[in-house]
Structure 1
Amino acid sequence: MYHLINQENLLENLRSEGNDLVILNFEDSTDYIQRNAFLLVRLIQQINTIINNKKPLIVIGASMGGLVGRYALAYMEKYDIPHNTKLFISFDSPHKGANIPLGDQYMLPFFSGESAEVRTWLGRLNSPAAKQMLVYHYSASVTDQTASRNCISSTYCFSTTICNYPYIPKSHELRNILLEEISHLDFPKKTRTVAMSNGSGYAIGQSFMPGDQLIKYSHQSLFVALKSYTYALPDNDPVNINSGDTLLIADKTELHN
């Protein structure tokens, strides 16, 4: 973790200027944001005990770490727990929510039976932190899933799975709970709070329109043919934002219902 953060000698330069650095690396960064925030609360208390509150702290959180830092410091202020922090820096943190296109999210469960790597990514998508940060989560948004299996009698068996995902975009309940808690905590008030972003700030749109196709994927081998299509969220009535089909070829005739 130290080497990852020490890009362009950042950490070494800070140390050479007389700063002591403490890096909090979570055992499970995909756990509930609240749980990791309470771990940060304990760390802040431990550091203040060691230095006897002689020097104010600076807390920096990148990406989800900014949400963790915000929650921890605001929680400490709400319940009168001294944090001795003069500056809180939130870097590229999704305070208004993160976004992964719903159509792309639906690709993961569709392909999860074909790849161990995809199953790993699906596990991360289904983690508490992902459900809390994503504005829309596929598990809360799907309204209909249709899977059909058909087989024709011939030398080979063709098993076709067809999945279409109409949707109503929704946040996961874990996100709703987190937003409710944050609304009562707000941002820390006893620190100087700075937010930084890698974005340009010009709000330039991307090169596709609502409802446009984003991904067209196809793969064919001796025994399997896969197709998957994802689309951007439309502005009008719900339509399919992901569709896919799988054609499996077996070496004997079977009947699937």
Structure 2
Amino acid sequence: MSAPVVDVWGPVAPGTRSSYPPAPEPHDEWPLPGGTAWVYYSPLNRRQLIRPVILSDGFSSGSSNLDQLWHGLEENGDYRFISELHAAGRDVIILGYDDRTASITANAETAIDCIRRANAERVGQAKLAVGGFSMGGLVTRYALAKMEQDPSLPDHETSVYLSYDTPHNGAWLPISIQAFAHFTTDEWGDTPGVGPVLRQFSGLLNSPAAKQMARWHIEKVGDTPEQAPERVAFLRALEEVGGWPRNLRTIGVANGVDTGAGNGVKAGATAVRCDGETLHDTWLKTQAKGDQVVARLQKTGGEPVSVRTGGLPEIDGAPGGLFTVPSPAGDTGSFGLAALLMALTGNEVDPDVITTSCFIPSISAVAAGDINDPKALYQPVTPDHSALDAFACASRNEGHTTMTEELGAWIVNEIVAAG
């Protein structure tokens, strides 16, 4: 059985590179310990690094893919982010990693090396703008904060830190989906064709970076949803460097609204159900308050497994960036991905699938509240709630890290205003 390769916390996996047109050849390429930086000088700067903007890649499987990154910044929305930065006289440095599932603190060392290289090659006195998309915002947040706290490191010489739909206060992937991923991997992970897809899905959820970002995580079916030890250790490490870089302006955007209006996904609803060759009466539900069976998982001919949660908020319908991932049938969401995997394992899926859910709540993306707080999730977000100096939220709940003129232009204007 042949199967596509899909990713959880990023656009697509290795093996799909050919689906993207090649990115323009970078003007310079910096090999870094743990990664690579691709440099695109502004046409206004005559092949000199004068006003650098470092943009960090986020979570995905394997190593960073320049074609994929360029497409996401320039072609995958209604705003050409790199072109607009170039028009404003900013040189763009795209920062990628050898392993995007590695610990955030490990990849932050690569970000520190990139910042040092940019400062060493910069002509003039203009300070840097540094940040990233999704997990990339956490990588650079930690890197800049560490450079301020560690006396062995040089000044980061940065005036603006930026984040784009970054899970500052945690990310959400339904526990029912996590359990389904681990269950199917346990049962069919060695099956030719579909097995590698299942193992990759489960493996991504259990990778160091995913554990650090997920507000609730289970490593295997039957675990109690909670913060993974890796997340607890990362939050402690972040606190040890001050939590945030202080000697600059911090800005961020959310792909969700700031009005408190949810995305329409109902709590406790059956999101996806299937029956067939390998699974019998298997279903996943959206998250509701209180004690709840969020999934029924049954191998055909086997005993059913119930997955329970308790004390979690109604977060699938919360305002925020939505889980989206490309598939052969077109972009889908979190439960849509589960439906795809159900079909791949030989089952008939009920047609009324709730395809997506909240992924990065707005209050997480703009660091404005605890996503474990049901009231905070659905309250309007105001500047006094946020740990950022300034933020912007989308006018609708849209796909995670979608590049829009609304958000992209706001960031460009903030960078330009900083000088």
Q: TM-score, normalised by structure 2?
A: 0.49
Deviations, residues 37-78 of structure 1 (Å, cap 9, x unaligned): 111011101111112672200013111011011100011111
Q: Does 1:241 align with 2:294?
A: yes
Which residue of the partner structure matches residue 274 of structure 2? 217
Which residue of the partner structure matches residue 257 of structure 2? 200
Which residue of the partner structure matches residue 6 of structure 1? 74
Deviations, residues 105-159 of structure 1 (Å, cap 9, x unaligned): 11112222152322221121111111110011111xx6xx6xxxxxxxxxxxxxx
Please identify the structure whose Cα radius of gyration is greater. Answer: 1
Q: Which of 186, 191, 202 is equivalent to 2:248? A: 191
Unaligned runs of 5+ in 2: 1-68, 303-419
Deviation at 1:183, TM superposition (A): 2.2
- Higher mean C-alpha displacement, 9-18 vs 82-91: 9-18
Deviation at 1:4, TM superposition (A): 2.8
Deviation at 1:3, TM superposition (A): 3.4
CA distance, structure 1, for counterparts of residue 70 and residue 284 of structure 2: 38
Deviations, residues 70-116 of structure 1 (Å, cap 9, x unaligned): 10001111114300000011110000000001011111122221523
Q: Does 1:135 align with 2:215?
A: yes
Deviation at 1:181, TM superposition (A): 1.4
Closer/same/farther in 2, CA of residues 52 and 241 from structure 1, 3 Å limit:
same
Which residue of the partner structure matches residue 73 of structure 1? 144
Q: TM-score, normalised by structure 1?
A: 0.78
Deviation at 1:204, TM superposition (A): 2.4
1:74-93 to structure 2, matched below 5 A, reads 74-80=145-151, 81-93=154-166
The amino acid across from 1:120 in the alignment is Q
Which residue of the partner structure matches residue 123 of structure 1? 203
CA distance, structure 2, for counterparts of residue 126 and residue 227 of structure 1: 26
Q: Which of 217, 228, 239 is equivalent to 2:282? A: 228
Deviations, residues 193-213 of structure 1 (Å, cap 9, x unaligned): 00111111122244323x443
The SS at the match of 1:240 is: strand
Percent of paired sites with the same residue = 29
CA distance, structure 1, for counterparts of residue 287 and residue 82 of structure 2: 41
Which residue of the partner structure matches residue 157 of structure 1? none
The amino acid across from 1:236 in the alignment is G
CA distance, structure 2, for counterparts of residue 180 and residue 5 of structure 1: 32
Q: Which has the higher contact order (CA 8 A, sep 6+)?
A: 1
Matched residue pairs, number? 220
The amino acid across from 1:131 in the alignment is K
The amino acid across from 2:92 in the alignment is L
Aligned partners of 1:71 and 1:182 also within 8 Å: yes
Aligned partners of 1:53 and 1:84 also within 8 Å: no
CA distance, structure 2, for counterparts of residue 248 and residue 207 of structure 1: 32
CA distance, structure 1, for counterparts of residue 270 and residue 301 of structure 2: 25
Q: Which of 99, 102, 107 is equivalent to 2:175? A: 102
Closer/same/farther in 2, CA of residues 207 and 181 from structure 1, 3 Å limit:
same
Which residue of the partner structure matches residue 174 of structure 1? 230
- Higher mean C-alpha displacement, 55-64 vs 11-20: 11-20
Deviation at 1:232, TM superposition (A): 3.6
Unaligned runs of 5+ in 1: 146-164, 250-257
The SS at the match of 1:241 is: strand
Deviation at 1:23, TM superposition (A): 0.6
The amino acid across from 2:290 in the alignment is N
Q: Which of 27, 46, 68 is equivalent to 2:117? A: 46
The amino acid across from 2:83 in the alignment is E
The SS at the match of 2:96 is: coil
1:153-168 to structure 2, matched below 5 A, reads 165=222, 168=224
The amino acid across from 1:128 in the alignment is P
The SS at the match of 2:271 is: strand
The amino acid across from 2:85 in the alignment is L
